[in-house]
Structure 1
Amino acid sequence: MSDNQVTIDDDEDVVPMSTMKENNIDFINKMKRKVQKEEKNRQKRICSQEIEDKTTYELTRNQRLWSMKVNDEFIDSIIMTADGGHQENVHLCSLLMMNENTLNALRFIKDRNDMIKEYEIDSSVSADVLRQVVHFAYHDYASLNETNCVETAEFAAKYQIVSLVHYCLRYFQDNCTIRNVLNGFKISIQIDSSYRPFFQSFIEDNFQKILASNFKTTLLTINDSSVLDIIASQRLDSRNEEEIWQIIHDWIDYDRHSRVKYIEHAITNVLRFGRLKDEFLKMNVLGSNLFKQQLEPCLQTRLINWIDELNQQTVVIRGSFELTNGFKLKYCKHSIYYQPRETKELLLVGGGWVEGSTTSSLELYDYQTNLWLKCPLNLKDKISYFGLEMINDIVYVFGGSNGTDVFQKLHAFNLNDPQRQWTSKCSMIERRCYVSSANLNGLLYAIGGFNRQTRVRSCERYNPDLDSWQYVAELNYGRSDASAVVHDGKIFIAGGINDSGIESSAEIYYPQLNQWRLIRSMSSPRTSFSIISFQNKIWALGGNDGVKRTGSVECYDSESNVWNEAENMLIKRSTFSAMVLKDELYVVGGYNGQSPICNVEKYVPNTGWVKVKPLRHDRSGLNLLCIPNKYDFLKI
């Protein structure tokens, strides 16, 4: 016996240690009954007020056991990691209280002495995970983090420790990274958990990000047809059906032997083949090795005939029908096979110069159909060269010009408000057109611009909660028709024009310091251009260099403080707008040196610049937002 002598009541059901050694299972059961009996006895003594200091005995059973564990009292087991690098002294009954299956994770090694047995835990368990499992057994709590959470959850699922599995799944839900959600979904399938719908919904909404991440393989390892249910969803975040076929192909091919049975289901219930170009369907789907080599010839023929029959029954609308002609694909509103997936976000383009005058009209872009649609909402005023930002479902328009006046006012539109009316807010301190704008930490910034007399250095900030503007630090240089963007918690601004000419300089605003600091200048001067945060860099696009409109592009790397040349745009333009949508960089409208233009292009990573459906109208001096496709009166 240890130095800490403990007196055991004579009526406690304690068996001789020699008997315990003869039968390990009997030993475990005896210890469980002993702890349970002790708990009942203590509760009786508390209720009968036999104990003067109740605080000590009102501790939970696990707290008392933990205290004994810390003091090595009644320790009956030592659990070691497979490499022998870590061990935990425990009361085995505490682990078994979670689930008796925990015993299956332990391999008996030897009797350390008459009191203590030694075990080795599952070889997949690290020292950190063993600590978490033991701590959870005593406290119903574990110190999970991004390093140990997945391994802990996998161990708990393997041995059906349901309480610990749910604890881990709650951690995954509260810390929604792609890695956590994919592993949470995988584990929730194993135990049929109520958390499964949450993880499935997250995967559907973030499917594009998953495919572009380093965790795509985790999705492929999920050996359950529920993966196909996700891919079949109307809500799936996907750009095109070619991408869908590729992930179907990759998922089946990852474990071809056991998943080849799903090919027919994938083609008839998951893939929307009507959204594929005929050549892709023929070569990449029906001509793939999965289809030609893994399916019986009779099944191949039956599927091909089924697709042909559907095509013949479907109304094919091309060219003139504006809701479907963006990609010139087959369409039928009565058949899911010919309908696009749900659009998650929209580009909202508004204002600017159209047909010789300023406009208040707006257009919406749907990336699923490659179409620009008329928007049922108009701006409050006919306006150009204005600030446009969105905070918490509220669109803010400030500054700008109608060609005659320079505006000082601010208008707001709540996209959730059923009244659908613009409301006037506190006007800016100064009037500004050609103003650069930014939205940082829920505050609007109006930066530089032209006040009808001079190109200004002043900047002001609007607080929506207080409905008030206040000055912030001035720019190092006056800038009108510059461009600003938020990146890494700071505001970047570059270019523009002032009394000295067109600027190539750039500077950063540090909100905590209320200070602008110059950084390395762009390689060429630019005004009437756009800068955008894309792929962890600042992209400067097009504009006017003082001699001509340009299509040149350069990227700023904040770590190296260097601007590097990038691929030129397809069209030289100024006074346009740019925005990132679905991890692609869109450039919209502008002026080509002779007239406003309706041309749109986008930069696709690993592909380059490609043409996009043109705007409904030629526009220059416009502005652009990316908004969720969730508002009833705008929803596509």
Structure 2
Amino acid sequence: MTSGNLPSPAWSLEEEEAEDGGHGKPEELCSGEHPRQFFTEAQRLREQSLLLDEEVSVAGRVYRVHRVILAAVSSLFRDRLLNSRGPRTPISLNVAPRGWEAVLTFAYEGVLGSAPWRDVLAAAEALGAPRVKAVVQQRCEVLGSSQEDAEQPNGAEELRRNLRSIEVLYQQGIGCDLELEADGCRLWVHRAALACGSEFFGAMLLSGMRESQGTKVSLHTISAQDLRLLVSYAYSGVVQARWPGLLRAAQVALQYQSSSCLALCQRALAQGLSPTRCLALFSMAEAPGLEQLWSRARHYLLTHLPAVASCPAFPSFPATCLAELLDSDELHVQEEFEAFMAARCWLAANPATQVSEAKALLGCVRFGRMSTRELRRVHAVGLPTPLPPDLLQQLLVEAEVPGPERRREPDQALVVIGGDGLRSDMAVRQPSGKVWWARAFCCGIGLVRTVEWGCLPPLPAPGRFRHGAASLTGKELYVCGGQDFYSNSSTLASTFRWDPSQEDWEEVAPLCQARCFFPLVALDGLLYALGGRDNGIALDSVEVYDPELNVWREAPALPEPCFAHAAAILEGQLYLSGGCSGTDEILDTLLHYNPNLEKPRALLSPMGVPRAAHVMAALGGRLYVAGGLGKFGDLLSFEVYEPRTDSWTRLAPLPSPHVGAAVAILQGELFVLGGYSHRTYALSHLIHAYSPGLGRWLCLGTLPRPRAEMPACILHPAALVTTQHATKPAG
């Protein structure tokens, strides 16, 4: 029971609080794992006869249980918990043993077991267990009166409801048998429930030491605020706080060994990163157990250095850490001059820095990679006082020319499949069958950027374009539909699958209907092919593929036929935007499509401009749409949809046209790849990436060959370890 030496947040988050006036509604985060962990521990304690406080006799057999766990489902045990003062007397039940055991299993595991439903109903009636009774009656109605065994309930949902019932008992003070005191705060809790919900308190209450005995425990190393957090989370699995509060909750969870609370806070903290928040996380960088969170924060710092350098807290960032960022190959800057300006900004705010330390920091800037224009800007800006002017000249003379390149090797693989070359000579024009994946993104001298490409096995000849591609697990690729030539009759229905265990593509069940110009998305372990066009006719049909059954089946149709539209999955929900209608009208619609409903469509706020052959992707809880074709030709416009307000916001436009481009999300950035210009019919081989934190586009290099009307996917790098085909694939 030591407090450890984990520091409190050392960075000011006043800016974050000021965004909502410090009165923003706290976000409620609920752990999906905590109820299961809570009752798994309860079951372990029961099997080892620990903290048991109730004896139940059924048909001559005595069962020892935790009264608070049974009280979550039974009014009989809730009443015994309410009147638990005085000597504890065993209880005898006149019910069938299998019916009692079913209720007991329901309380600890959320399921009923295999008892006959008549026995379970009788036991539920005797114990005052309405939820058990309702589950059995519902299942029996579905299965018919002739069925002897009731179907199992949803164990995870029932455990969540069980935990909520125990939380209500705590809030009402029913049956609490232990008083905790810390820093003047006193809380009455259930000994058994607290041991199940918190590793820290479980270890304390089961240790056999003085704190595990009696009805009162004084805690001298925990603040009142931390005690309330730990107890509240133990009973609920919920953390309610704005971002600074989450930072504090993560520290408490780490310090007092609440693994599920720590995991919950880390996920939330990683999703809400900003320059100021990343600097705030630095105080926790060395804490064991937070390596994954710090890795995400470090990556954010590497990709948003200009924005980080403009934060008020940036001068307090340790020089050694800034040097490590500047020296990293993965530093993601538009030009090396930005790295120099970050170092200069820090030195200007820390004038007491020794010359030797300043030289070491500036030595991490790769002056040898700068263009002549960048070097002129460096000379024009110079070094801040009181550093000697000749230090800059010394650094430039000592710089290695050319300096080492910056090389980003993402932790996921970007894959581009097939596409069209748009050659003017139709006799030699054919779709590509190549499948490429990006090994690394390299930064040369000045703004020169290249991508190191590798090849996967090519698609079966003759290739295809206007097709769909997706991955269900990140370890395999599915490709279906599209066209293999340039007539309406050349639309495809075939579907192919590839994974690293295969040397070539495997043909699986074909689509029910041939289609092209359609998106293919993965949702809940299934693939959805939405709309498109066949033989020149727009489609409203939707098909869903089940990989376990290897079969396509019909899903609810779209509200109207459309093709050349885009789709994306945001927080488990499927959205479609734009496209062309059956009369070739370009649409501005945004549709929420729920395949589990008979009428699965809900129209949302339309985009700012109608568009087709565009891209859409989900990033940071928002939907981004970019490029495509508008009523008057190429679109450079770029906008983002905010689901909470059902509204669109215009952002920085694309640097160049991308009609029929591919899209992917890689390391928190939106990638738009290839496409063409409808005005000139010139193909694009450029890769543009948008960083929401910086609000700008960056050209990261080029495709191996110019291509349009092809999809892109993201795979786990482990899936490509054994596929080392070619480093510079042909087109």
Q: Quickly name the TM-score band, shorter chain normalised.
A: 0.5 to 0.7
Deviation, structure 1 residue 581: 2.1
Is residue 2:566 matched to residue 1:483? yes
Correspondence for 2:343: 285
Deviation, structure 1 residue 463: 0.5
Aligned equivalents of 1:283, 1:569: Cα separation in 2: 26
Correspondence for 1:589: 674
2:327 to 265, 272, 296: 272
Checking the alignment, whether the CA contact within 8 Å between 1:77 and 1:119 is kept in structure 2 is: no
**Does the C-alpha gap of structure 1 residues 237 and 557 become closer, same or farther in structure 2, counting only changes over 3 Å?**
closer
Amino acid paired to 2:666: L
Aligned equivalents of 1:485, 1:575: Cα separation in 2: 16
Aligned equivalents of 2:529, 2:454: Cα separation in 1: 26
Deviation, structure 1 residue 211: 4.2
What whole-Å deviation, never above 9, does each CA across 1:457-510 have from its counterpart, x for those lacking one? Answer: 211111001000111122221112222222343322233334422241443321
Aligned equivalents of 1:623, 1:545: Cα separation in 2: 20
Aligned equivalents of 1:224, 1:562: Cα separation in 2: 40
Correspondence for 2:663: 578
Deviation, structure 1 residue 422: 0.5
Is residue 2:450 matched to residue 1:376? no
What whole-Å deviation, never above 9, does each CA across 1:389-439 have from its counterpart, x for those lacking one? Answer: 11121200000001152111000001x31x322001001111112222221
Deviation, structure 1 residue 624: 1.2
Correspondence for 1:13: none
Q: Which structure is richer in relative contact order (CA contacts within 8 A, separation 6 or more)? A: 2
Aligned equivalents of 2:297, 2:528: Cα separation in 1: 35
Deviation, structure 1 residue 544: 2.3
2:430 to 349, 352, 357: 357
Aligned equivalents of 2:356, 2:645: Cα separation in 1: 61
Is residue 2:412 matched to residue 1:345? yes
**Does the C-alpha gap of structure 1 residues 294 and 587 become closer, same or farther in structure 2, counting only changes over 3 Å?**
same
Is residue 2:699 matched to residue 1:599? no
Correspondence for 1:519: 603
Is residue 2:549 matched to residue 1:466? yes
1:395 to 465, 473, 477: 477
What whole-Å deviation, never above 9, does each CA across 1:222-265 have from its counterpart, x for those lacking one? Answer: 38598999999899645747749969x999965x8xxx6xx458
Deviation, structure 1 residue 563: 4.5
Deviation, structure 1 residue 358: 0.9
CA RMSD of superposed structures (Å): 5.3
Checking the alignment, whether the CA contact within 8 Å between 1:579 and 1:624 is kept in structure 2 is: yes
Checking the alignment, whether the CA contact within 8 Å between 1:132 and 1:144 is kept in structure 2 is: no
Is residue 2:693 matched to residue 1:610? no
Checking the alignment, whether the CA contact within 8 Å between 2:328 and 2:406 is kept in structure 1 is: no
Aligned equivalents of 2:652, 2:370: Cα separation in 1: 36
Alignment of 1:8-87 (within 5 A): 71=85, 80=181, 82-83=183-184, 86=187
SS in 1 for 2:636: strand
SS in 2 for 1:486: strand
**Does the C-alpha gap of structure 1 residues 450 and 101 become closer, same or farther in structure 2, counting only changes over 3 Å?**
same
Aligned equivalents of 2:674, 2:661: Cα separation in 1: 5
Q: State the percentage of identical aligned residues.
A: 16
SS in 1 for 2:702: coil
Aligned equivalents of 2:188, 2:289: Cα separation in 1: 39
SS in 1 for 2:477: strand
Aligned equivalents of 1:517, 1:500: Cα separation in 2: 21
Deviation, structure 1 residue 446: 1.4
Correspondence for 1:212: 274
Amino acid paired to 1:430: Q
Checking the alignment, whether the CA contact within 8 Å between 2:481 and 2:491 is kept in structure 1 is: yes
Correspondence for 1:11: none
Aligned equivalents of 1:499, 1:78: Cα separation in 2: 70
Aligned equivalents of 2:188, 2:641: Cα separation in 1: 51
Aligned equivalents of 1:542, 1:408: Cα separation in 2: 28
Alignment of 1:301-450 (within 5 A): 303=360, 340=407, 342-354=409-421, 355=423, 356-365=429-438, 368-369=441-442, 371-377=450-456, 378-381=458-461, 382-392=463-473, 393-403=475-485, 404=487, 405-414=490-499, 416-417=500-501, 419-450=502-533
SS in 1 for 2:684: coil
Amino acid paired to 2:512: I
Checking the alignment, whether the CA contact within 8 Å between 1:272 and 1:338 is kept in structure 2 is: no
Alignment of 1:533-572 (within 5 A): 533-572=618-657
Q: Identify which range, 572-581 or 271-280, moves more after superposition.
A: 271-280
Deviation, structure 1 residue 576: 1.6
- Unmatched runs of 5 consecutive residues or more in structure 2: 1-59, 68-79, 89-175, 192-202, 372-397, 424-428, 443-448
Checking the alignment, whether the CA contact within 8 Å between 2:671 and 2:688 is kept in structure 1 is: yes
Alignment of 1:132-147 (within 5 A): 132=231, 145-146=238-239
Deviation, structure 1 residue 387: 0.7
Deviation, structure 1 residue 101: 9.4
**Does the C-alpha gap of structure 1 residues 71 and 439 become closer, same or farther in structure 2, counting only changes over 3 Å?**
same
Checking the alignment, whether the CA contact within 8 Å between 1:549 and 1:572 is kept in structure 2 is: yes
SS in 1 for 2:558: coil
Aligned equivalents of 1:550, 1:296: Cα separation in 2: 52
Aligned equivalents of 2:624, 2:553: Cα separation in 1: 29
Look at both structures and tell me which one has the larger radius of gyration over its CA atoms.
Answer: 1
**Does the C-alpha gap of structure 1 residues 619 and 307 become closer, same or farther in structure 2, counting only changes over 3 Å?**
closer
**Does the C-alpha gap of structure 1 residues 251 and 367 become closer, same or farther in structure 2, counting only changes over 3 Å?**
farther
Aligned equivalents of 1:275, 1:88: Cα separation in 2: 50
SS in 2 for 1:391: coil
**Does the C-alpha gap of structure 1 residues 469 and 155 become closer, same or farther in structure 2, counting only changes over 3 Å?**
closer
Q: Identify which range, 431-440 or 467-476, moves more after superposition.
A: 431-440
SS in 2 for 1:611: strand
Checking the alignment, whether the CA contact within 8 Å between 1:411 and 1:425 is kept in structure 2 is: yes
Amino acid paired to 1:220: F
Deviation, structure 1 residue 591: 1.8
1:125 to 224, 233, 239: 224
Correspondence for 2:710: 622
What whole-Å deviation, never above 9, does each CA across 1:154-173 have from its counterpart, x for those lacking one? Answer: 77988xxxxxx44x2x3346
Correspondence for 2:133: none
Correspondence for 2:283: 221
Please, what TM-score do these two structures have when normalized by structure 1? 0.63
Deviation, structure 1 residue 359: 0.5
2:260 to 146, 162, 171: 171
Amino acid paired to 2:538: R
**Does the C-alpha gap of structure 1 residues 481 and 424 become closer, same or farther in structure 2, counting only changes over 3 Å?**
same
Aligned equivalents of 1:122, 1:69: Cα separation in 2: 33
Amino acid paired to 1:508: H
Checking the alignment, whether the CA contact within 8 Å between 2:529 and 2:544 is kept in structure 1 is: yes
Checking the alignment, whether the CA contact within 8 Å between 1:79 and 1:121 is kept in structure 2 is: no
Please, what TM-score do these two structures have when normalized by structure 2? 0.56
What whole-Å deviation, never above 9, does each CA across 1:162-200 have from its counterpart, x for those lacking one? Answer: xxx44x2x3346x454168x8xxxxxxxxxxxxxxxxxx
SS in 1 for 2:567: strand
Aligned equivalents of 1:87, 1:143: Cα separation in 2: 16
Aligned equivalents of 2:409, 2:706: Cα separation in 1: 28
Checking the alignment, whether the CA contact within 8 Å between 1:241 and 1:272 is kept in structure 2 is: no
Q: Identify which range, 144-153 or 428-437, moves more after superposition.
A: 144-153
SS in 1 for 2:635: strand
**Does the C-alpha gap of structure 1 residues 344 and 210 become closer, same or farther in structure 2, counting only changes over 3 Å?**
farther
Aligned equivalents of 2:492, 2:177: Cα separation in 1: 80
SS in 1 for 2:413: strand
Is residue 2:508 matched to residue 1:508? no
Amino acid paired to 2:599: Q
Q: Identify which range, 346-355 or 441-450, moves more after superposition.
A: 346-355
Aligned equivalents of 2:206, 2:635: Cα separation in 1: 72
Is residue 2:727 matched to residue 1:632? no
Amino acid paired to 1:475: L
Checking the alignment, whether the CA contact within 8 Å between 1:543 and 1:549 is kept in structure 2 is: yes
